[in-house]
Structure 1
Amino acid sequence: MFLANLRGRSTAFATALALGAAVLTAWGGESRADSNSLVLYTSTPTAQVDFFVKAFEKETGIKTEIITGGTGDLLNRVKAEADRPQGDVLWGGSSTTGGSQPELFVPYTPPESAKINAAFADPKGYNAPFDAFTMVIVYNKDLVPEAEAPKSWADLADPKWQGKVRFANPVSSSSSYAALVNWKLIGDWDFVAKLAKNFIIDHSSSAPFTAVGQGEAELGVAYEEGAYRYLESGKVGIVYPSDGVVILPGGLFLIKDGPNAENAKKFADFLLQPEQEQALVENFPGRRPSSDAVKLPETMPASSTLHVLDYPTSEAEQNQKDWLAKWQEIMIDAR
């Protein structure tokens, strides 16, 4: 009886050890990389995410969990989870999104990176840009005659536009932060302050172009793809400001110590394939590919036809916190 009980207790103890090991494996880190899944954090438009995730799953068989949110919110989530990462890829924002906190990500260079426009390449290797974007002025044609529409960023500072220009808060929008840097390049903080006097601030990147497209606002500062969503309606016009635009690579970052590290690489490899870049411009008007091998649609001007300013990537990343604090001071003064 004693031997039987001892054997029973030993068996139970071994079982408990096995269960404990299983739990540690499930939460511990590297062993999770062998799973057939991927956790994707993304601020990219839903239709685009669904389109490419479906194609990725079909090609690889890897099941993808999609978690959406604003770029700034998702970046904060990655930071909060740094001790035990739950996501594998952060897809959205711009190069400054991950560049501002590189300790949260790992460098990776997909095989197709050689086809990326040299201006979009990340010299530090953290960003694997699938697309690129610029900021534009969008106006409602029913509310603003074409002849009176702003032709430059400086035109937005005209007092007649006070309270008529929608702009997403750069504290929560990486695309708006790119616009802020764009304006700083043109006329430094004095120029930014003049523009701010006419702005109505939104907390979502989609709010400015949506308000203009639906006739709720005269003007908006919007990212290129968002402005194009309403182009076919004939209700909006798009202006590429004559005093200069910056064109930034979109953000695609692999999260450090993510649970499915190998699958994260496969996702980056997949998106940068020429076939996917071409599918981007054919299915999502206004999305600018990062690859030079893709033919642009007729409605999208090539970067060579625009007044393109050199974006100070390192400076914008290193000073992001201070520049956003300065922006908030300007907005308080503007009120």
Structure 2
Amino acid sequence: MRRGWWVCGIVGFVVLTATSMGALAGTADHEGQVVVYTAAQSTIVQAIGPMFEKKTGIKVQFVEAGTGEVLKRARAEKDNPLGDVFWALAAEPLAANADLLEPYTVTEDARINPIYKKGMAGGRVIPNNVTPMVIVYNKKLVSEAEAPKFWKALADPKWKDKIAYAAADKSGSSYTILATLLTVFGENDPGWKVVEDIMKNAKILPSSSRVPKGVADGEYHAGLTYEDAAMRQVAGGAPVGVIYPLDGTSIPPDGNALIKGAKHPKAARMFLDYAVSKEVMDLLAEKFSLRSARTDVNPPKGFVPLGEIKAVAYDMEWAGKNYAVLVKKWQDIIVRVK
């Protein structure tokens, strides 16, 4: 659920009120409301919010925006937090803002695959869904034989102005792709040269959601994006193909966290527990094509098994700690080549 960072800022508030009181509502010790900052797609917010309210009786107020805008807002509010929970944010920048987070271990932590807990701000960030980074291409514009099977193929000048990439300083998924490229090719001059050559060919977009849609609509031949966004286009009947790069890709988790100084901490912990419950993760896999960080949830129908994807050893802690440095280098490249 790695939504891009909207350039216009916060999308707005969606207030969902409980329509009935669930079994937990009569017995739970909580404040009765919770404010959730999220980068989840609006359709997911609209599905999960009422479910949580019905189950707990807790009113949920969502603030929807991209990862970067959410974190920017939370940092501005650090001395007087207005949010209680971060839900479905890109984990690397979330972990890089560990000083905004309060440690919390969800009740079903044992069901979360431990491989996704590494580099998560000392346990402050809770793995949510996991999302391989992919290449998407338009089948009407690019034949299967000509489709880029490797990240490095996108550095070929023949792709000039034909590929889409969301700005890495605005999109959580695009930052992950940037860090993935440097993991594959090295955080050195040759690695940055590959990044620069790809950026020379790319149209830089303001939000990650526009990448797969632009490819599906034929605006671009190919794009760098994340799996569930690409697969939603496939499910919708768009003429797109999805490639798991053969030179290796990352499979990072999204993250949830308790905001330090939250005004509704008890309700916030209940929301964090519910967000990674099997009930929610099964729904996200079945209805929204999202892989789960849990070990007991099946992958979405039609998805490539993770064992068939060439995964790189993606260092979440490194990606989080070096966020500002890597983004600055990327910005310098864009100034140079655009």
- The number of aligned residues is 302
Residue 178 of structure 1 aligns to which amino acid in structure 2?
T
User: Measured at CA, do residues 196 and 176 of structure 1 come closer, stay the same or move farther in structure 2, by a change above 3 Å?
Assistant: same
Partner Cα separation in structure 2 for residue 59 and residue 182 of structure 1: 39
Provide the residue aligned with 2:151 in structure 1.
153
Provide the residue aligned with 2:101 in structure 1.
105
Provide the residue aligned with 2:23 in structure 1.
none
Secondary structure of 2:225's match? strand
Q: Does 1:310 align with 2:310?
A: no
Provide the residue aligned with 1:328 in structure 2.
331
Alignment of 1:171-320 (within 5 A): 171-187=169-185, 188-232=191-235, 233-285=237-289, 287-320=290-323
Q: Does 1:163 align with 2:166?
A: no
Residue 111 of structure 2 aligns to which amino acid in structure 1?
K
| 1:126 aligns with one of 100, 124, 127 | 124
Provide the residue aligned with 1:64 in structure 2.
60
Higher helix share: 1
Secondary structure of 2:136's match? strand
Offset at 1:108? 0.9
Partner Cα separation in structure 2 for residue 178 and residue 251 of structure 1: 13
Q: Note if contact 1:85-1:259 (Cα within 8 Å) is conserved in structure 2.
A: yes
Partner Cα separation in structure 1 for residue 325 and residue 300 of structure 2: 38
Offset at 1:43? 1.1
User: Measured at CA, do residues 92 and 271 of structure 1 come closer, stay the same or move farther in structure 2, by a change above 3 Å?
Assistant: closer
Offset at 1:97? 2.4
Residue 93 of structure 1 aligns to which amino acid in structure 2?
L
Secondary structure of 2:122's match? coil
Q: Which runs of 4+ in 1 moved over 6 A?
A: none
| 1:80 aligns with one of 76, 81, 100 | 76
Secondary structure of 2:89's match? strand
Partner Cα separation in structure 2 for residue 123 and residue 84 of structure 1: 22
User: Measured at CA, do residues 266 and 76 of structure 1 come closer, stay the same or move farther in structure 2, by a change above 3 Å?
Assistant: same
Residue 211 of structure 1 aligns to which amino acid in structure 2?
G
User: TM (normalized to structure 2)?
Assistant: 0.87
User: Measured at CA, do residues 59 and 303 of structure 1 come closer, stay the same or move farther in structure 2, by a change above 3 Å?
Assistant: same
Q: 1:199-247: per-residue Cα shift (whole Å, max 9, x none)?
A: 1101111011110112221111111111111103141110010000111
Q: Note if contact 2:137-2:221 (Cα within 8 Å) is conserved in structure 1.
A: yes
Name the % identity.
36
Q: Note if contact 1:93-1:175 (Cα within 8 Å) is conserved in structure 2.
A: no
Offset at 1:84? 0.4
Residue 227 of structure 1 aligns to which amino acid in structure 2?
A
- Structure possessing the higher radius of gyration over alpha carbons: 1
Offset at 1:50? 1.2
Q: 1:228-283: per-residue Cα shift (whole Å, max 9, x none)?
A: 11103141110010000111111111111111111111011112212221111111
Offset at 1:330? 1.1
Offset at 1:94? 2.2
Secondary structure of 1:229's match? helix
| C-alpha RMSD of matched pairs (Å) | 1.4
Offset at 1:35? 2.5
Offset at 1:332? 1.6
Alignment of 1:27-38 (within 5 A): 34-38=30-34
Partner Cα separation in structure 2 for residue 270 and residue 279 of structure 1: 12
Partner Cα separation in structure 1 for residue 135 and residue 44 of structure 2: 23
Partner Cα separation in structure 2 for residue 292 and residue 43 of structure 1: 23
Residue 134 of structure 1 aligns to which amino acid in structure 2?
P
Q: Note if contact 2:216-2:238 (Cα within 8 Å) is conserved in structure 1.
A: no
Partner Cα separation in structure 2 for residue 269 and residue 125 of structure 1: 14
Q: 1:148-171: per-residue Cα shift (whole Å, max 9, x none)?
A: 111110111111111111001110
Provide the residue aligned with 2:113 in structure 1.
117
Offset at 1:302? 2.0
Secondary structure of 1:78's match? helix
Provide the residue aligned with 1:135 in structure 2.
133
Q: Note if contact 1:97-1:251 (Cα within 8 Å) is conserved in structure 2.
A: no
**More displaced, 122-131 or 239-248?**
122-131
User: TM (normalized to structure 1)?
Assistant: 0.87
Q: Note if contact 1:98-1:126 (Cα within 8 Å) is conserved in structure 2.
A: no
